[in-house]
Amino acid sequence: PRLFLSPLCCRCKELKYSKDLPQISIIFIFVNEALSVILRSVHSAVNHTPAHLLKEIILVDDNSDEEELKAPLEEYVNKRYPGLVKVVRNQKREGLIRARIEGWKAATGHVTGFFDAHVEFTAGWAEPVLSRIQENRRRVILPSIDNIKQDNFEVQRYENSAHGYSWELWCMYISPPKDWWDAGDPSLPIRYVAWPAR
């Protein structure tokens, strides 16, 4: 399934953001992902991120076997987005975390954003994220990521929820804590609440 990256909430679209936000390096990690899917993600990022906020896009290939992900990918992005898109290639399969570290090493933006190579960005996604990071650089931000159902392309929205992980490290959406709901402002960040120890 494709993931659809949308602003944190409807209210975020109404807020005014500083023009002086930090630039972001968008990092996509992939291994044997379809070329069309990677390019759709790249086009989406370029088309829906204000140019003054997008420092670069880094594609980290974790040692794919597919030939179309080698020269054809590099030729396309170098011709279409010269200087904006970089391709980093691992010489052996390193896994997700090491691939992210390689992307981070290549990044030159003040902020790094790590994404699967099968996401689509919507207009207005970057400003709420970068604004929250500018307020507190220690924040880890994850916008709402909606699901596009593969059988009918219906968008399944996940507003007003936070990401959490079970002890088995399964990612899930969890309801924000009571104090967040009580504040009555869906644009506020949701503070991470740790799971109780087992």
- Domain ranges, ordered by start, for the chain: 10-143
Burial 20-53 (b: 16+ CB within 10 A, else e): ebebbbbbbbbbebebebbbbbbebbbebbeeeb
Question: Among the CATH numbers 3.40.190.80, 3.30.565.10, 3.90.550.10, 2.40.50.100, which is that of 10-143?
Answer: 3.90.550.10
DSSP 119-159: EEE-TTSHHHHHHHHHH-TT------EEEE-TTT--EE---
CA atoms within 13 A on the CB side of 100: 8
The one-digit pLDDT tens for each residue of the chain (198 residues) are 333 344 445 667 778 889 899 999 999 999 999 999 999 999 999 999 999 999 999 999 999 999 999 999 999 999 999 999 999 999 999 999 999 999 999 999 999 999 989 888 888 889 988 998 999 888 777 766 777 777 887 877 766 777 666 777 677 777 788 888 898 887 777 766 555 555
Distance, CA of 58 to CA of 134 (rounded, Å): 22
